[in-house]
Amino acid sequence: MTAQTSTTYHPVPLPDRQEVTQDQSLHGARAFHDRMKTRHTVRDFADTPVDLAVIQSAIATAGLAPSGANHQPWHFVAISDPETKSKIRQAAEEEEQKFYDGGAGDEWLSALEPIGTGVSKPHLTDAPWLIIIFAQRYGLRPDGTRFKHYYVPESTGISTGFLIAALHHAGLYCLTHTPNPMKFLTEICGRPDHEKPTMILAVGHASKDATVPQKALQKKPLSEILTLNPESN
């Protein structure tokens, strides 16, 4: 549903209603937590192929995310072509070189040091798939006129979370990669100017010798990320 197709409110009965007990609800929440706890970001990918149908299903899941005014202001470009991946890697590494040569401040580089990142980005060609995520600044009607999208960064971020969870549930690994600037992705992917690239997801199976930074295993405890019933001043 987008702004040009309907301006009238038509409520329908809630589909897919869930009726669960408190015990079932707690079991489901804990089971999902335990599943997502096994999600890890890797930079070392195997050359094991990943079927297109898996990628399509994961992206379809991303498309189920809530969005401002239900405008769904996102677009995903899935790439397995080696030549195109090579172009993306070359362009990304050029931007990364500028970043590490002084584009980033000392504090930022210090924060990245325990993660082990650098200019070389072999995951962009090693991973069997790259998924490029675009956020649509505005929508276009069939006649070419524009209409406003709402909460674009928030909506696209939620959709990206759905996608990462779906890929993990499929037994795949991914790496979030955000070169800056990312304008080169618009040209390589042939997307219109009103779509802003926000992230590259390298997707595939982890290599047998894949590692993760020890620091990445350190997650904030629940007590640091949850406040219950705050008292107002």
pLDDT of residue 1: 47
Residue 202 backbone class (left: φ over 0; alpha: ψ -120 to 50; beta: rest) = beta
Assigned domain for 6 exists:
no
Assigned domain for 233 exists:
no
Domain count, the chain: 1
Domain that holds residue 75: 41-207
CA gap 11, 51 in Å, rounded: 38
232 pLDDT band, cuts 50/70/90, is: confident
Whether the pLDDT of residue 210 is over 90: the answer is yes
Amino acid at 154: E
Q: Report the CATH number that the domain containing residue 180 is assigned in CATH.
A: 3.40.109.10
Assigned domain for 51 exists:
yes
Whether the pLDDT of residue 117 is over 90: the answer is no
CA gap 100, 46 in Å, rounded: 27
The fraction of the chain above a pLDDT of 90, given in percent, is 81
If one compares 185 and 96, the residue with the highest pLDDT of the two is 185
Whether the pLDDT of residue 203 is over 50: the answer is yes
Assigned domain for 115 exists:
yes
Which spans in 63-180 are helix H?
82-98, 106-112, 123-126, 152-169
**What is the arithmetic mean of pLDDT over 197-219?**
95
pLDDT in tens, 146-170: 999 999 999 999 999 999 999 999 9
pLDDT in tens, 14-24: 999 999 999 99
Place of tokens 């618009």: 186
pTM value is: 0.91
Whether the pLDDT of residue 116 is over 80: the answer is no
Assigned domain for 221 exists:
no
Order across the sheet with 173-177: list the strands.
Answer: 74-79, 129-136, 195-204, 173-177
Assigned domain for 177 exists:
yes
Assigned domain for 68 exists:
yes
Assigned domain for 65 exists:
yes
